Structure 1
Amino acid sequence: MLPRGLPQPWGRLCRWSNPFVQFLALTVVTFGVLAPLTCQQFLYSYFYVRRWYLRPMSQEFLKQNQEDGLRALRYFERLRTPNTSERLGNDAFHPWLLITIITVQRHPEFHYVLQVASRFHRLLRECGPPCRRHQILLCNVETDPGSHWDAKLLSSFMSMANHYGGREKAELSPNQFEKEKQDYAYCLEKSLQAYDPEYVLLVEDDAVPEEEIFPVLHHLLQVRFSKAHLQDALYVKLYHPERLQRYINPEPMRILEWLGVGMFLGSLLGFLYAWVSSRSSPSWPVVLFFALYSMLLVELVGRHYFLELRRLAPPLYSIVPATECCTPAMLFSASSAHRALGYLKELHCRPGFAKDTAIYSLLRTKGERAFVVEPNLFRHVGLFSSLRMNGNPKLL
Structure 2
Amino acid sequence: MTHHGMSPELPTMLPRGLLQPWGRLFRWSNPFVQLFALTVVTFGVLAPLTCQQFLYSYFYVRRWYLSPMSQEFLKRNQEDGLSALRYFERLQAPNSSEKLGSDDFHPWLLITIITVQRHPEFHYVLQVASRFHRLLRECGPSCRRHRILLCNVETDPSSHGDAKLLTNFMAVVNRYGGREKVELSLNQFEKEKQDYTYCLEKSLQAYNPEYLLLVEDDAVPEEEIFPVLHHLLQMRFSKTHLQGALYVKLYHPERLQHYINPEPMRILEWLGIGMFWGPLLAFGYAWASSRSNLSWPIVGFFALYSMLLVELVGRHYFLELRRLVPSLYNIVPVTECCTPATLFSAPSAHRALGYLKELHCRPGFAKDTALYSLLRIKGEQAFVVEPNLVRHVGMFSSLRMNANPKLL
Is the shorter-chain TM-score for this pair beyond 0.5, marking a shared fold?
A: yes
Match of 2:307 in 1: 295
- Runs of 4 or more, structure 1, over 6 Å off, are none
Asked if residue 277 in structure 1 is aligned to residue 277 in structure 2, the reply is: no
Partner Cα separation in structure 2 for residue 293 and residue 16 of structure 1:
20
Asked if residue 330 in structure 1 is aligned to residue 342 in structure 2, the reply is: yes
Match of 1:82 in 2: 94
Asked if residue 63 in structure 1 is aligned to residue 53 in structure 2, the reply is: no
Relative distance call for 1:16 and 1:379 in structure 2 (3 A) is: closer
CA RMSD of aligned residues (A): 1.4
Relative distance call for 1:31 and 1:357 in structure 2 (3 A) is: same
Following superposition, the deviation at residue 172 of structure 1 comes to: 5.0
Partner Cα separation in structure 1 for residue 116 and residue 173 of structure 2:
12
Asked if residue 166 in structure 1 is aligned to residue 178 in structure 2, the reply is: yes
Match of 1:393 in 2: 405
Partner Cα separation in structure 1 for residue 311 and residue 185 of structure 2:
43
Partner Cα separation in structure 2 for residue 128 and residue 212 of structure 1:
14
Partner Cα separation in structure 2 for residue 149 and residue 90 of structure 1:
20
Partner Cα separation in structure 2 for residue 85 and residue 265 of structure 1:
56
Relative distance call for 1:79 and 1:16 in structure 2 (3 A) is: closer
Write the letter of the residue equivalent to 2:202: K
TM-score, normalising length: structure 2: 0.92
Partner Cα separation in structure 2 for residue 167 and residue 225 of structure 1:
43
SS in 2 for 1:166: coil
Give the alignment partner of residue 45 of structure 2, picking from 30, 33, 43. 33
Asked if residue 366 in structure 1 is aligned to residue 359 in structure 2, the reply is: no
Match of 1:217 in 2: 229
Counterpart contact for 1:79–1:86, Cα < 8 Å: no
Give the alignment partner of residue 118 of structure 1, picking from 130, 133, 155. 130
Q: Percent same amino acid at aligned positions?
A: 86
Partner Cα separation in structure 1 for residue 28 and residue 375 of structure 2:
59
What are the Cα deviations for residues 198-248 of structure 1, in whole angstroms up to 9, with x where unaligned? 000000000000000000000000000000111110000000000000000
Give the alignment partner of residue 325 of structure 2, picking from 293, 305, 313. 313
Partner Cα separation in structure 2 for residue 89 and residue 321 of structure 1:
32
Following superposition, the deviation at residue 283 of structure 1 comes to: 1.1
Structure 1 stretches of 5 or more lacking a match?
1-14
Equivalent pairs counted in the alignment come to 383
Following superposition, the deviation at residue 170 of structure 1 comes to: 1.7
Following superposition, the deviation at residue 166 of structure 1 comes to: 2.2
Following superposition, the deviation at residue 274 of structure 1 comes to: 1.3
SS in 2 for 1:137: strand
Counterpart contact for 2:100–2:149, Cα < 8 Å: no
Give the alignment partner of residue 198 of structure 2, picking from 182, 186, 207. 186
Which structure has the larger Rg over C-alpha atoms?
Answer: 2
Write the letter of the residue equivalent to 2:172: M
SS in 2 for 1:169: coil
Partner Cα separation in structure 2 for residue 21 and residue 85 of structure 1:
73
Write the letter of the residue equivalent to 2:368: D
What are the Cα deviations for residues 278-300 of structure 1, in whole angstroms up to 9, with x where unaligned? 22332111110000000000000
Asked if residue 44 in structure 1 is aligned to residue 64 in structure 2, the reply is: no
Counterpart contact for 2:28–2:34, Cα < 8 Å: no
TM-score, normalising length: structure 1: 0.95
Partner Cα separation in structure 2 for residue 126 and residue 281 of structure 1:
55
Match of 1:203 in 2: 215
What are the Cα deviations for residues 251-295 of structure 1, in whole angstroms up to 9, with x where unaligned? 000000000011111111011111112223321111100000000
Match of 1:176 in 2: 188
Counterpart contact for 1:173–1:179, Cα < 8 Å: no
